């Protein structure tokens, strides 16, 4: 035995997280407890002795969280819309903000493919990461999606999530392609794409220097968008335009202060009907445009 009871172990871990100034220490500790013990702490006898192995497992997770390692990495998963995604160090953690982008992409996708004129147009997720956007499109549009990702670690997790979600929700399988989106457009025939969605890296140099402790654990490759944060938007707006069929659409996630800059990039490169959408907090979060 570890010398801990249910109550004494919980109090010790609570004190560790609170001393580290973890904002949501109590609910996060309950989630970590559930992950280790497979049941809620409240259904256990507070005086029940705790074995050495589970006590050490929980303490190690709590110590990592006290160092501000993201909770999602410790739990190994993150919910997104109506499915669960595996996450791990080396991949960007899907945010609730990106659900707004997914819902907009789904709505536009239904319009684009509704009349059958775009039935053969490919659906692309550029900078796919864990596959959140690609899988959302596959599940809700019931169409095949190509997910493009360059990072080795993210690509492995992308493949894992495709297998997991496709099997659970019986959606068309997403095709994972390991490629650099700055070159991938060369493989696309003109007018062959009906919809592109992308949550590209968009943080600026100054923003990268001011990251919150938790975000510093996430891969800079998935965060840094060049000196002004707009490198990926410029390339996709120019490089992928000819691949998108007339009437096809492009949907970007953006930083909350990037709407006008991204709008200008799209309009200057011949995209039509450029629109900005806000998230639930009223912040600019998504820019869409039509070819």
Pair 286, 159 in one domain = yes
The domain spanning residue 171 has which CATH number? 3.40.50.150
- At 79-102, the pLDDT tens digits run 999 999 999 999 999 998 899 999
pLDDT at 242: 96
Pair 63, 85 in one domain = no
Tell me: pLDDT of 1 over 70.
Answer: no
Pair 135, 47 in one domain = no
Domain extent for 43: 6-67
- At 2-42, the pLDDT tens digits run 789 999 999 999 999 999 999 999 999 999 999 999 998 88
Contact call for residues 178 and 150 (beta carbons, < 8 A) = yes
The model's pTM is: 0.92
Cα separations in angstroms, 5 against 35, 49, 61, 192, 261: 18, 4, 18, 62, 57
72, part of any domain: no
For 284, other C-beta atoms within 10 Å of its C-beta total 18
Pair 167, 89 in one domain = yes
End-to-end Cα, the chain, rounded Å: 66
The count of domains in the chain is: 2
- At 208-221, the pLDDT tens digits run 999 999 999 999 99
194, part of any domain: yes
Confidence grade of residue 254 (pLDDT, cut at 50, 70, 90): very high
Pair 116, 174 in one domain = yes
Contact call for residues 175 and 124 (beta carbons, < 8 A) = no
Pair 137, 223 in one domain = yes
What beta strand segments (E) does the chain contain?
A: 77-80, 83-86, 122-126, 146-149, 175-178, 193-198, 244-253, 272-278, 284-290
Q: How far apart are CA 249 and CA 16, in angstroms?
A: 49
Mean predicted confidence (pLDDT) in 235-240? 98
Instruction: Provide φ and ψ at 289, rounded to 5°.
Output: -155, 160
Question: H or E segment at 132?
Answer: helix 132-141
């Amino acid at each position: 035995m570890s010398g801990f009871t249910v109550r004494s172990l919980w109090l010790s871990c609570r004190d560790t997280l609170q001393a580290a100034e973890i904002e949501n220490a109590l609910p996060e500790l309950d989630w970590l407890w559930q992950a280790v013990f497979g049941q809620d702490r409240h259904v256990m006898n507070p005086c029940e002795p705790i074995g050495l192995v589970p006590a050490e497992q929980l303490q190690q997770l709590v110590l990592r969280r006290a160092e501000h390692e993201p909770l999602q990495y410790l739990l190994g998963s993150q919910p997104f819309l109506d499915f669960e995604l595996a996450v791990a160090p080396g991949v960007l953690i899907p945010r609730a903000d990106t659900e707004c982008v997914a819902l907009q992409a789904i709505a536009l996708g239904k319009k684009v493919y509704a009349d059958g004129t775009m039935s053969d147009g490919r659906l692309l997720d550029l900078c796919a990461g864990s596959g959140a956007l690609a899988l959302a499109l596959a599940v809700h549009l019931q169409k095949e999606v190509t997910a493009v990702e360059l990072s080795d670690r993210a690509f492995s997790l992308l493949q894992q999530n495709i297998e997991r979600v496709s099997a659970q929700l019986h959606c068309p399988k997403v095709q994972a392609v390991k490629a650099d989106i700055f070159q991938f457009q060369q493989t696309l025939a003109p007018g062959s794409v009906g919809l592109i969605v992308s949550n590209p890296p968009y943080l600026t140099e100054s923003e990268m220097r001011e990251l919150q402790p938790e975000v510093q654990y996430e891969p800079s490759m998935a965060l840094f968008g060049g000196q002004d944060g707009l490198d990926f938007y410029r390339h996709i707006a120019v490089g992928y335009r000819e691949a998108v069929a007339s009437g096809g659409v492009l949907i970007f996630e953006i930083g909350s202060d990037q709407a006008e800059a991204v709008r200008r990039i799209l309009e200057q490169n011949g995209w039509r009907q450029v629109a900005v959408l806000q998230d639930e907090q009223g912040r600019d979060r998504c820019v869409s445009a039509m070819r």
